[in-house]
Amino acid sequence: MSLGPVMADLAGLEMTPEEKEILAHPLIGGVILFARNFHSPEQLTALTAEIHKIRTPRLLIGVDHEGGRVQRFKHGFTLLPPMRLLGEAYDKDNKHARHMSELLGWLMSVELLSVGVDFSFAPVLDLDKGISDVIGDRAFHSNPEIVADLAHSFMLGMKKAGMVATGKHFPGHGHIKADSHIAIPVDERGYQDILAEDIVPFERMIHYGLAAVMPAHVIYPQVDNKPAGFSSIWIKDILRKRLAFEGIVFSDDLSMEGASVAGGFVERAEAALDAGCDMVLVCNRPDAVVTVIDGLKVKSNPVSQARLIRMHGKISRDLGHLRQKLEWKKAVHELDQFVNKTSMELGF
C-alpha cells in the first residue's frame, strides 16, 4: 500500500479502534502528534511503534518540535531554546552560533528519532520583523542571510542524526501581524519585495538540499488572491519552477482559519493538492478527517510517493540508551552553558 496524501492526528495517549481504522485508510499517509499525545518517552515510543505497525511502508510521524514555545514533548526531553537566541548569539559570534545551531538540530532530531518520530516540522525560515506575534522568537533573525546561515547549520545537525528538514512558512509569515490560526492574513507587499527578503532563506535552503516546505496560510494579493498553500502560482510556478524545489510540500493545517477561504474540508484538501501540495494536514477535527477521506478523489502520484518515502527518519527507539552516550551528554551540557551564558548577556 502506498502512502496517501492526508496527515491526520490522534485524540489521546493511545489509539482508539476507530483511529486505527482511519489510519489504515489508503488516503492516509501520516500522523502529526501534539502535546496531548505525550505522557512520557516510554508511552510515546509505544504509541509510535503501534502507528508504524499499521501499514507498509510505515506511516510518517511528524511533530512541531522547534524549541521555545513550540515544543510538544517536554518531560524527559531536552528543553530547546527559541531560535531567536541563536540569532542574538550570531550577532556576537557567528561561528559559535552556527556550531550551536547544528548541535541543536542534532539534539532535537536524535531525541525524536529515539522515540519513533520521523521528523519535526522545522526549521522556521520566517523573518522576525517584530510584527508577527505568532512567529516572533520562533524565527532565527530579521536578516534573511543570517536566517539561511543558521538554518543551514540546523539542517546539517538534523541530517547527522538521520532526519530531514522542513522549512516553513513559504514564502514568509513575518511581515503580517494576523495569526492564520484564527484569521486570514493578507500581506500587501509586491513580489519583488518578498523575493528580495522572505524568499532568500528558502532559496538558499533549497540549494543546500531542503527536503520539505510548508506554505503559509497567507494571501499575497499582489501575486495571487489565494493563500500560498492553495496557490499554484506560489507552489508550481515560483517554488517548483523558479526555485527548482523537488521535495515534499506539506499544507499547513486545513482546520486553521486561514484555510477557510478555500471552502469545506474536502474542497480545502482538493485545492491544496491541485495547487501542488503532496500532503495535506487535517488537525484537531477528527470529523473533518473522516469527511476528507470519504470525499476526496485523487489519483496516486508516483512522484509524490517517492518524495514522501524520503521523509522517513532513521528510527532507533531507545531514548534510554541515547542518554548514556557521551555525545548526547556533551551536547546537553554545552546547550545548558550556551543558554545560560547568552540569556545572561542579553538580560533575559
Closest CA to 222 of 277, 171, 286: 171
The CB-based long-range contact list for 221-228 (8 Å cut-off, 24+ gap) reads 221/186, 221/188, 222/188, 222/189, 222/190, 222/191, 223/190, 223/191, 223/194, 226/261, 226/262, 226/271, 226/275, 227/180, 227/184, 227/258, 227/259, 227/261, 227/262, 228/169, 228/170, 228/171
The one-letter amino acid at 18: E
Active-site annotation holder among 181, 207, 321, 333: 181
CA distance 275 to 232: 4
Q: Which helix (H) or strand (E) holds 100?
A: helix 94-113
Active-site annotation holder among 128, 149, 224, 252: 252
The verdict on whether 252 is a catalytic residue reads: yes
Bridge partners of 227, per DSSP, are 219
The one-letter amino acid at 288: A
The verdict on whether 65 is a catalytic residue reads: no
Catalytic residues: 181, 252
